[in-house]
Amino acid sequence: MKILITGGTGFIGSRLARELLLRGALNGRGVERLVLADQFPAPEAAADIVRDPRVEVRVGPLLAQCEAFRGDRFDGVFHLASAVSGECEADFDLGLRSNLDSTRALLDALRGAGNLPRFVFSSSVAVFGPDASNPMPDRVRDDTLPTPQTSYGTQKLICEHLVSDYTRKGYIDGRSARLMTVTVRPGKPNRAASSFFSGIIREPLAGIEAILPVDPSVSHPVSSPARTVAGLIAVFEATQQQMGGRAALNLPALNVKVSEMLDALEAVAGKATRALVRQQPDPTIAGIVAGWSRGALAARAERLGLQPEAQFADIILQYIADHPQAVTESARAAAAAYERTRSK
């Protein structure tokens, strides 16, 4: 199989690539070639992936790369490349170009290739939002009416419908998975309005102060990087029948309050670590987050065998295990003690 991952050198993209190389197969067919298309070259943390002889990295804007995909005739595509929510609010044209035009160009290239590739679109829980005639339920479901309140969410929703229609027409075998907010992301904050959901864990674990721009009572559906990657693969491998219709599905969420995230941080890594989180309201971010889901249910993903994490402490422990060099010695020691206590 020849697989394309757009946004392939990004955080989720490279993690997905590593998992695919490790498995070596999708749906029982070998992964012989893995093309990672991204506007940025692979970071040092992805050096192991780039060294793999099956991998080819192509650097450049997705929109400019699409035409060439026609000749590649990929068997499978994970379309992860996207401008993030904060960027799209700040620069309307950038969002339309990066999220809508690029997806359309990608779909047209795959249609032109003519070999009906399997296609997973990474949509987002940001498709949901409240409006005056459509208050948001406490938990958004697969079939909740999406009325997005950001350009990012609007563009994701529009692409879901494009994916459905290209699939209905027989141009691709597409499906859309709505990612929950992925936490804990390593590295530096990005311009996603959701960036703090990682920052308030990652920075304190590194011994650095973190800003919490919203009220601790804010509730939100989150997922770990590992479960998110597992979800993308399961959605890829599912038949259309198992998907249960063409509409997009929610990936599983751990529905958690910010205060519960901080309680878990204290339980895992100690009082001093938690004390590094400083509340400093940011009206812009709080405004965007107020339009987001407080929680999500994922009945159709569960039918594919996917489950959310049981508790937020597991997500913190996963981050510490994956990125020990980014965590202070004292926090690592506290986490080890926490795990020993818990396993008793």
Q: Is 165 in the site for a second copy (CB under 8 A)?
A: yes
Tell me how far apart the alpha carbons of residues 62 and 185 are, in angstroms, rounded to a whole number: 23
Cα 90 to chain centroid distance, Å, stands at: 21
Q: How many CB atoms lie within 10 A of CB 328?
A: 17
Q: Is 50 in the site for a second copy (CB under 8 A)?
A: no
Q: Is 145 in the site for a second copy (CB under 8 A)?
A: yes
Please tell me the count of residues contacting a second copy according to CB under 8 A: 31
| 193 vs 264 by CB, closer to a second copy | 193
For a second copy, the binding residues in 234-253 under the rule CB under 8 A are: 241, 243-247
- Residue 185 burial by CB count (10 A; 0-12/13-18/19+): exposed, middle or buried? buried
Candidate ranges 55-63, 118-126, 165-173, 191-199; the one touching a second copy (CB under 8 A): 165-173
Among 51, 169, 340, 344, the residue binding a second copy under the rule CB under 8 A is 169
Tell me how far apart the alpha carbons of residues 154 and 61 are, in angstroms, rounded to a whole number: 21
For a second copy, the binding residues in 59-118 under the rule CB under 8 A are: 92, 96, 104
| Least CB distance to a second copy at residue 249 (A) | 8
The pair of structure tokens assigned to 86 is: 């904060």
DSSP letter (8 states) at residue 97: I
Half-sphere exposure of 266 (CA within 13 A, CB side): 12
Tell me how far apart the alpha carbons of residues 91 and 192 are, in angstroms, rounded to a whole number: 13
Q: How many CB atoms lie within 10 A of CB 170?
A: 9
Among 9, 103, 122, 164, the residue binding a second copy under the rule CB under 8 A is 164
Residues tagged active-site: 152
* Length of the chain measured in residues: 344
Give the gyration radius of the chain's Cα atoms.
Answer: 20
| 61 vs 130 by CB, closer to a second copy | 130
Q: Is 138 in the site for a second copy (CB under 8 A)?
A: no
The identity of residue 300, as a single letter, is R
| Least CB distance to a second copy at residue 275 (A) | 39
Among 143, 275, 284, 307, the residue binding a second copy under the rule CB under 8 A is 143
| Least CB distance to a second copy at residue 246 (A) | 5
Q: At which residue do the structure tokens 């506290």 appear?
A: 334
Among 300, 301, 312, 314, the residue binding a second copy under the rule CB under 8 A is 300
Interface residue list for a second copy (CB under 8 A):
92, 96, 104, 131-134, 142-145, 147-149, 151, 154, 157-158, 161-162, 164-165, 168-169, 241, 243-247, 300
